Amino acid sequence: MSVILCTAGYDHTIRFWEALSGICSRTIPHPDSQVNRLCISPDKRFLAAAGHHTVKLYDIRSTNPAALLTFEGHTGNITGVAFHCEGKWMVTSSEDGTVKIWDTRSGHIQRNYSHGVPVNDVVIHPNQGELISCDRGGNVRIWDLAENKCSHQLVPEEDKSVASVTVATDGSLLCAAVSNSVHGAVYVWRLITVRDVTSLVPVTKFKAHGTYITRVLLSPDVRHLATCSADHTARIWAVDLENTALPSQQDSNDGEEGEEEEEEQGFELEQELDGHQRWVWDCAFSADSAYLVTACSDHYARLWELQSKNIIRQYNGHHRGAVCVALNDYSESR
């Protein structure tokens, strides 16, 4: 199976799709709850499905609809899930205010980190030694696994929820979505690691949508940033660090003029993917960064060719909103 594409949401099913034909090849029932997030293990063997209080691990190669393992310990909706690069452990975030690390073989909790407020998302730094999570209270936290503590706490905007975070595959950039019902901004930091110590340098912030942002995702080649929103669109932004600046970094007089320019110094909009009928909740890039799959409340998932902005395939089968998607089309030799 060279391409694994799956979607899930509020109809209590997980669907596997043949990416090019659009045919649903397998359906797994998930009767316990809706599915909030999906993640495919790097070796393509396992699928983690994050639900209301549990994460279920499925064997992708098997036809058995039963989960291999159920990870129990969260007491609120699970909002994020990611695998260690060798699949040894898995990390989750939850509305119960915690980030947890799990042994993928035993299902036991290895680490427990507290935000104290609902956590919206978590990602693993490519160095596999740090976690980056964000919460409803407006915090972005970096957790140092070697030191077993929070090494950085960022507050992009006071009391404004940070919905989603994404880290570049080369560890060079961190982006976070900060939004409410009338404004959706993306904050960008450069990640600099010297002798295993990471520091963050603000690069830019810009308005990406006029309402909630549900997901931010950097492409594998780190040349594009995708944002999904309640405004029924996904947008693709050009990652350009040369022509972005914060107002304080500009040569213009510090004053109102600089403030006015603040929004203009962000990433340039490349494409607006506007065929969705309702909220766009999640997205996934292809390995070559040329395609994007989106999951939408209108029940559909869609495969977009980014250069042409064409919908190549529409995946039709869910009978309620599709809120999460996972795609792994990396070559086996990865």
The secondary structure of 38-55 as a DSSP string is EEE-TTSSEEEEE-SSEE
The pLDDT value recorded for residue 254 is 45
Give the amino acid at 287.
A
pLDDT of residue 251: 46
Question: What pLDDT sits at residue 277?
Answer: 86
Within 13 Å and on the Cβ side, how many CA atoms surround 91? 25
What is the model's pLDDT at position 275? 85
Output the six-digit token pair for 178.
């900060």
Do 184 and 212 contact (CB within 8 A), yes or no?
yes
> Per-residue confidence of the chain (334 residues) as pLDDT tens digits?
589 999 999 999 999 999 999 999 999 999 999 999 999 999 999 999 999 999 999 999 998 999 999 999 999 999 999 999 998 999 999 999 999 999 999 999 999 999 999 999 999 999 999 999 999 999 999 999 999 999 999 999 998 999 999 999 999 999 999 999 899 999 999 999 887 778 899 999 999 999 999 999 999 999 999 999 999 999 999 998 887 766 554 444 444 444 444 445 799 999 999 888 899 999 999 999 999 999 999 999 999 999 999 999 999 989 999 999 999 998 864 4
118: Cβ–Cβ under 8 A, 6 or more apart, which residues? 76, 79, 94, 95, 96, 97, 135, 136
- The string of DSSP letters for 300-334 reads -EEEEETTTTEEEEEE---SS-EEEEEEE---TT-
Q: Which pLDDT score, from 0 to 100, does residue 264 have?
A: 53
Residues 200 and 86: their CA atoms lie apart, in Å, by 27
Report the pLDDT value the prediction gives residue 255, as an integer from 0 to 100: 45
Sheet holding 37-40, edge to edge: 37-40, 46-50, 54-59, 69-72
How many Cβ atoms sit within 10 Å of the Cβ of residue 108? 11
Q: Look at residue 258 and give its three-state secondary structure.
A: helix
How high is the pLDDT of residue 262? Answer: 45
| pLDDT value of residue 246 | 67
Model pLDDT, residue 29: 95
* Amino acid 259: pLDDT: 43
